[in-house]
């Protein structure tokens, strides 16, 4: 892949099974990547967050976005950070993908619309 200068793929949902070297964490993206919030073979962001992400992944995600905020008891629009993330998870992940070093970002329409409807169910 490197020899032929082909782009790799990273799906943002996978970035929060955490260790600092996780290649799927947005801060580890490199320019020659296509970064996705989700893909046609993965759950939408809202499905991942509400049905598939473990409590540990959720904690890692919140810690990941909390670092620049510097506070444990912050509120946003009257909501705790955790409740705000629950409500706007798609936009948080879209922002992380768009701010990454990746040269290409693909955002599924389902994630923009914050809906659970999948484009494809693998094997169907």
pLDDT at 43: 92
User: Which is more confident, 117 or 46?
Assistant: 46
- Does residue 68 have a pLDDT over 70? no
| pTM metric for this prediction | 0.85
Check residues 36 and 78 and name the one with the higher pLDDT: 36
More confident residue, 65 or 94: 94
Give the model confidence (pLDDT) of 21-54 as tens digits: 889 999 999 999 999 999 888 899 999 999 999 9
Higher pLDDT, 116 or 8: 8
Element (H, E) at 5: none
φ/ψ of 116, rounded to 5, equals: -90, -15
Q: How many CB atoms lie within 10 A of CB 105?
A: 18
Residue 99 has pLDDT above 90, yes or no: yes
DSSP-based three-state secondary structure for 88: helix
pLDDT at 21: 84
The dihedral through the CA atoms of 103, 57, 45, 91 has a sign that is negative
pLDDT band at 70 (very low <50, low <70, confident <90, very high): low
State the pLDDT at residue 72. 58
- Average pLDDT, rounded, for the chain: 87
Q: How far is residue 35's CA from residue 82's CA, in Å, rounded to a whole number?
A: 25
Across 37-98, the runs of DSSP E, i.e. the strands, are 75-76, 79-80
């Amino acid at each position: 892949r490197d020899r032929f200068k082909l782009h790799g793929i990273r799906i943002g949902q996978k970035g929060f099974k955490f260790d600092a070297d996780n290649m799927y964490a947005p801060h580890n993206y490199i320019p020659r990547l296509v970064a996705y919030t989700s893909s046609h073979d993965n759950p939408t962001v809202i499905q991942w967050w509400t049905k598939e992400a473990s409590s540990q992944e959720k904690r890692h995600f919140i810690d990941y976005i909390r670092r620049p905020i510097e506070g444990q008891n912050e509120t946003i629009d009257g909501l705790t950070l955790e409740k705000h993330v629950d409500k706007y998870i798609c936009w948080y992940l879209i922002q992380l993908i768009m701010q990454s070093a990746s040269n290409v970002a693909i955002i599924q329409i389902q994630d923009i619309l914050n809906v659970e409807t999948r484009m494809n169910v693998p094997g169907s």
